[in-house]
Amino acid sequence: MVEKTKFLLDENEIPKAWYNVQADLPTPLDPPLNPSTKEPIGPDALARIFPMELIKQEVSRERWIKIPEEVREVYRLWRPTPLYRARRLEKLLKTPAKIYYKWEGVSPPGSHKPNTAVAQAYYNMKEGVERLTTETGAGQWGSALAFGTMLFGLKCTVYMVKVSYEQKPYRRVLMETWGAECVPSPSTRTEYGKSVLKEDPKCPGSLGIAISEAIEDAASHENTKYSLGSVLNHVLLHQTVVGLEAKQQMEIAGEYPDVVFGCVGGGSNFSGLAFPFIADKLSGKKPELRAVSCEPRACPTLTKGIYTYDFGDTAAMTPLLKMHTLGHTFVPPPIHSGGLRYHGDAPLLCKLTKEGYMEAAAYHQNEVFEAAKLFAKAEGFVVAPETAHAVKGVVDEALRCKETGEEKAILFNNSGHGHFDLAAWDAFLHGKLVDYEYPKELVEEAIAKIPKV
């Protein structure tokens, strides 16, 4: 019999409920705090910018949360996504390890992000919201939300960091094709944007500024809410559709992973793959399972940050979140994995890492692209620079298996394609990528500015 390369599910096998890891945590998650009172934030404070259903999901401890039929209907456009066995990569590496990956690059926006964008657009539509605002760096999240809102008839305003807006036009074109309006940030649309432009008319923008503009826009307009593409509990919850499918597919392959890898920016794609497996570790069924977050050495949140309360944004406007952080004033060097340049990480992923259920590793961008090039050579797919971090983790693990002779089953989340990141690939291929190690003194400086709780 020919050995299988792809493990596919039928459309009716798309999960009917998301898995909520909060149900199985040994102790509850520390709540977000109001920065002035240092008291837990109540649902009312969040209701101005988020719909009620998502606020409920954020704090829910129910193990299973039903996926609305309307959302599953949209998921059918590209889900279930295939699970691949990377046989050609195994051969190229001459490893006895068995490498599997879940391929999220088949969605219309090309990544895992629409798994939550579609769900968020749906709940907002149900509650009568007419427009969503958000921020985007290079445009992956903005384009996913543009896609999601289009499907449920909502308007969408995306504040895009001005340098990216000018230098990386293609995701903007995608957003506009799907009917969203894309505004270079800082803009004159908001009081905050105007104040920034008054100080510095040539300001290139930052994710922090764009977040502040998107929140102000939502808070100051009727029937308008704000949407976030990673970090929050409800976002990670929606992404578990990835891991739940992967679990069914690994079963068809007759396998359970020894180790799971994923790249971590805010933590949503990796948590989405890993949490349904971590459930078995939390219950004691699979105590030996390992889950490894892969991050850039230039923004080493989990490997070098500290676990404490900090602001979620650079402008110090959001509630305080308990997480690994490099300090909200931390400015990451200009590496090409835009999606991984965040000073913090999802509180759920951080807690599980702090308590030893998950681990983390950090890599330089050149070695990361080197691994992704091997992957492209073996498997064909040219992955996103973010995803390439997970590929590096997997290749290293497979090479360790080659030394020890272990036939480990390795699984990773192949979070997206790199077709809009070819300028980064070009820089790598022509030896123009610089490796940054974040200087210890600068980490200490930013950490000194974290609020005391």
Ligand X SMILES: *Cc1c(COP(=O)(O)O)cnc(C)c1O
3-class DSSP assignment, residue 321:
strand
Nearer to ligand X, 105 or 193 (CB): 105
Cis peptide before 80 (omega within 30 of 0): yes
Nearer to ligand X, 20 or 293 (CB): 293
Q: How many CB atoms lie within 10 A of CB 73?
A: 14
| Residue 330 Cβ vs ligand X, minimum distance, rounded to whole Å | 17
Nearer to ligand X, 80 or 416 (CB): 416
Nearer to ligand X, 125 or 244 (CB): 244
Contact 249, 164 (CB under 8 A): no
Between the alpha carbon of residue 56 and those of residues 39, 61, 67, 107, 439, the distances in Å are: 19, 10, 14, 27, 40
Residue 160: name the closest of 131, 191, 139 by CA. Answer: 139
| Residue 15 Cβ vs ligand X, minimum distance, rounded to whole Å | 19
| Residue 165 Cβ vs ligand X, minimum distance, rounded to whole Å | 17
Nearer to ligand X, 184 or 416 (CB): 416
How far apart, in whole angstroms, are the C-alpha atoms of residue 109 and residue 140?
A: 8
- Which residue has the closest beta carbon to ligand X? 416
3-class DSSP assignment, residue 89:
helix
| Residue 412 Cβ vs ligand X, minimum distance, rounded to whole Å | 11
Rounded (10°) CA dihedral 195, 201, 205, 208: -20
Helix H segments across 355-439?
365-379, 385-404, 422-429
Nearer to ligand X, 190 or 230 (CB): 230
Q: Which residues have a Cβ under 8 Å from the Cβ of 192 and sit 6 or more positions away?
A: 186, 209, 212, 213, 216, 315
Residue 187: name the closest of 219, 165, 155 by CA. Answer: 165
Q: Which residues bind ligand X (CB under 6 A)?
A: 111, 113, 140, 230, 263-269, 339-340, 384, 386-387, 415-416
| Residue 375 Cβ vs ligand X, minimum distance, rounded to whole Å | 14
Contact 72, 10 (CB under 8 A): no
How far apart, in whole angstroms, are the C-alpha atoms of residue 320 and residue 299?
A: 20
Nearer to ligand X, 32 or 272 (CB): 272
Nearer to ligand X, 125 or 395 (CB): 395
| Residue 406 Cβ vs ligand X, minimum distance, rounded to whole Å | 28
| Residue 423 Cβ vs ligand X, minimum distance, rounded to whole Å | 16
| Residue 338 Cβ vs ligand X, minimum distance, rounded to whole Å | 8
Q: Which residues have a Cβ under 8 Å from the Cβ of 426 and sit 6 or more positions away?
A: none
